[in-house]
Amino acid sequence: MNVPPLVFYAEILVLLALGALVAATLLYDPSYRRGQGGAQLRRFVAMQRDLAATLGMSLRTWLVIRIAITVVGLALGALTSVWTVIILGGLLGWVAVPWLLEGRAAKRRLSMERAVTALVREIASLMQQSNLTLDRALREAARNPAPELASVLAPLRSDRAVPECLAEVSTRARSSLADVFCIGALVARTHDPAAFVQVSEQVLTPVLNVAVEIQEENHATLAQQRTASMAIGVVMAVLFFALMRVSTMRHFYAGVAGQLVLLVVIVIYLGLVWVIGQVARPVRWTEWDVDAVRREMEVLLA
């Protein structure tokens, strides 16, 4: 029996597809990807919490604001009655807000980290010159804090134990540099408070100073570029709305080719904004669980 080439080709493909299905069933490892989605969601929530805390608002408020602006973006997009623009409006609303506020958040975090550097110096100085214990020096420094650290150091003004207060300080600060200070203090008060003076003089203060300096430089560069990208974005939006008032242009952008062009434009723009963010990366630090350090130190003491 002669089989037509088309059917023969189809049979081969079906066989290959069936083979692929069998291999997929054999190779499927249910535990392979378990937890990855959850980890990504946790990372996203942690990032949003960091951003919200730096902007001085709760996570819920921050998410409500983002959703509201996304809806505004969708509504603005709906004015053009082009479905691509509607979706892109919503997308821009969701993405643009954190991007726009990131600069402000970074600025606030930087000023707080600068204050942490000064705090480390102050505590070391209190211990050396006023001959105070580490706990006393911490309480003393928290009594008259820099305005940037007022709410962060508030736990140290309470009657709670110092280790608990330091863990709370770290939670409030949500900054790696603040974590370094808190852990340094926790370890030193468990082992030898004098170690804090040496470590802070020889390592912590110079390292924190340089780290903040580099962050400042990066922040300045990034802020300039963010402003320029924003200006270009605004020019593009204005231009687009002006174009949409011209009937021939509106006709083009309402068509498939026009919508494809719009998609490409937005993808290029967002891609370039992403690249700018990737080029100027902040100095990365290890993320510490300061409360775990507190617990470990308590176990060591016991």
Q: Give whole-number Cα distances, 143 to 35, 264, 267, in Å.
A: 44, 56, 51
User: Measured between alpha carbons, how far is 225 from 36 in angstroms, rounded to an integer?
Assistant: 33
Angle 242-94-97 (CA atoms, 0-180°, nearest 5)? 80
What is each CA distance from 113 to 79, 102, 167, 280, in whole angstroms?
44, 16, 17, 19
Encode 90-117: b = buried (16+ Cβ within 10 Å), e = exposed: bbbbbbbbbbebbeebbeebbebbbbbb
Q: Could you tell me which residues come within 8 angstroms of residue 172 by beta carbon, excluding any fewer than 6 positions away? A: 53, 151, 152, 154, 155
Closer to another protein by CB, 16 or 150: give it.
16
Burial 194-221 (b: 16+ CB within 10 A, else e): eebbebbeeebbeebeebbeebbebbee
Specify the residue, 151 or 202, whose C-beta has the smaller distance to another protein. 202
d(CA 195, CA 202): 10
Side chain identity, residue 138: L
**Choice between 154 and 297, CB closer to another protein:** 297
Name the residue type at position 274. W
Nearer to another protein, 20 or 150 (CB): 20
Q: Taken in order 42, 186, 177, 155, is the CA torsion positive or negative? A: positive
Q: Token digits for 94?
A: 């969701």
Cβ 165 to another protein shortest distance, Å: 18
Q: Nearest approach, Cβ of 50 to another protein (angstroms)?
A: 13
Nearest distance from C-beta of residue 150 to another protein, angstroms: 27
Nearer to another protein, 94 or 269 (CB): 269
CB of 280 to another protein, least distance (A): 5
Question: In angstroms, what is the minimal distance from the CB of 207 to another protein?
Answer: 5
CB of 234 to another protein, least distance (A): 11
Residue (13 or 47) nearer to another protein, CB: 13
**Least distance in Å: CB of 137 to another protein?**
15
Minimum CB distance to another protein smaller for 47 or for 214 = 214
CB of 61 to another protein, least distance (A): 25
**Which residue's CB is nearer to another protein, number 60 or number 284?**
284
